[in-house]
Structure 1
Amino acid sequence: MTEVTHLTDESRFVINLDGAQAVLAYELYDNSCNFNNTYVPPELRGKGLAEKLVRHGLKWAKTQQLEVEASCWYVQKFLKTS
Structure 2
Amino acid sequence: MQAITATELARQTRQVLDTVARQGQTVIIERNHVPVARIVPPEPTMTAAQALAGLPVALTLLQAQAWLADSRTDLDDSVRDPWA
Please indicate, yes or no, whether the TM-score normalized by the shorter chain is above 0.5: no
Report the structure, 1 or 2, having the larger strand content.
1
TM-score, normalisation: structure 2: 0.28
Rg: which structure is higher? 2
Structure of greater relative contact order (alpha carbons < 8 Å, 6+ residues apart): 1
